[in-house]
Amino acid sequence: MSRIPAVANMFYPGNPDQLRKELSAFITPVSSPRKVLAAICPHAGYVYSGKVAGAVFSQIHVPSTAIILGPNHRGLGAPVALQSAGSWEMPLGTVSVHEELAGKLLVALGDQAQDDPQAHAMEHSLEVQVPFLQMIQPDLTIVPVSLSHITYNTCEAVGRVMGQTIQEWPEPVLLLASTDMSHYVSAETAKSKDQLAIDKILALDPEGLFRTVAEHRISMCGVIPTTITLVAAKVLGASKAELVQYATSGDVTGDFSQVVGYAGLIVY
């Protein structure tokens, strides 16, 4: 399967030169990029969340392989849907799916996941991460994972398998969870509620994150990908998480009555 972009010229420029220019404005590489186990980044249009995502990608080393986990906004396909073969045709060039690693993950996950490229065809949450990754790592390969709502126990099971699979893999693999935070509430409410979720991420508490988002009705669309990523990172020995940047759409639009929150974090 060759996937074509679903949101180029909407969420980000489809023209390669314009895209590089925009990404260069968001990414300021550091002299010694940090090797991290996982990153958590927003997935809105770049005009809104690009600065937060760029702050994260500016700091980290991106290996040649990334497992990208994002929420399935459209609800199409399997609850845990991998794309195990083919490529993504992106404005900055073709990105291949890492078939060997994806296949190994599918076997290890058993009936907990399905090979389902259709779940990815129109989904933006993973796609918007790819140009950022490509800017830092031109030889990028990916394992895309699209996630609908599942229980915490399933999140934990999937995360453990993912962590163990990466642990056994001979090359470095970056885990990247794609999520926005609170949606369409006041900036004050967003910051207050989002901090509750961020605190659980900083505490490396995946179950606490899952339950806090549910109990406080935080409209964090990527809570499932983030929960799984935290479980996997802990299997890999994570000892600390760090908030790189937080912002809301109001910082761009000037409208603080109805905002979306964006948080960028790293786990190492």
Over residues 153-180, the mean pLDDT reads 98
Q: Give pLDDT tens digits for 217-251.
A: 999 999 999 999 999 999 999 999 999 999 999 99
DSSP code for 111: G
**Alpha helices of the chain — where are they, by DSSP H?**
16-26, 46-59, 99-109, 124-127, 129-136, 152-168, 187-202, 206-215, 223-235, 250-253
Query: What is the pTM assigned to this prediction?
Result: 0.97
Percent of all residues in the chain with a pLDDT value above 90, rounded to a whole number: 98
pLDDT at residue 74 in the model: 87
Of 13 and 75, more confident: 13
Query: Could you give the CA distance from residue 266 to residue 41 in angstroms, rounded to a whole number?
Result: 9
* CA atoms of 1 and 85, how far apart (whole Å): 7
Q: What is the mean pLDDT of residues 72-86?
A: 94
Residue 204 zone, left/alpha/beta (φ > 0; ψ -120 to 50; rest): left
First vs last C-alpha separation in the chain? 33
Q: Structural domain tally of the chain?
A: 1
Q: What is the pLDDT of residues 14-67, one digit of tens each?
A: 999 999 999 999 999 999 999 999 999 999 999 999 999 999 999 999 999 999
The CATH number assigned to the domain holding 89 equals 3.40.830.10
Contacts of 31 by beta carbon, 8 Å cutoff, 6+ apart: none
Q: Is the pLDDT of residue 1 over 90?
A: no
Range of 80's domain? 2-267
CA distance 176 to 105: 16
Instruction: Summarize pLDDT for 95-145 with one digit per residue, the tens.
Output: 999 999 999 999 999 999 999 999 999 999 999 999 999 999 999 999 999
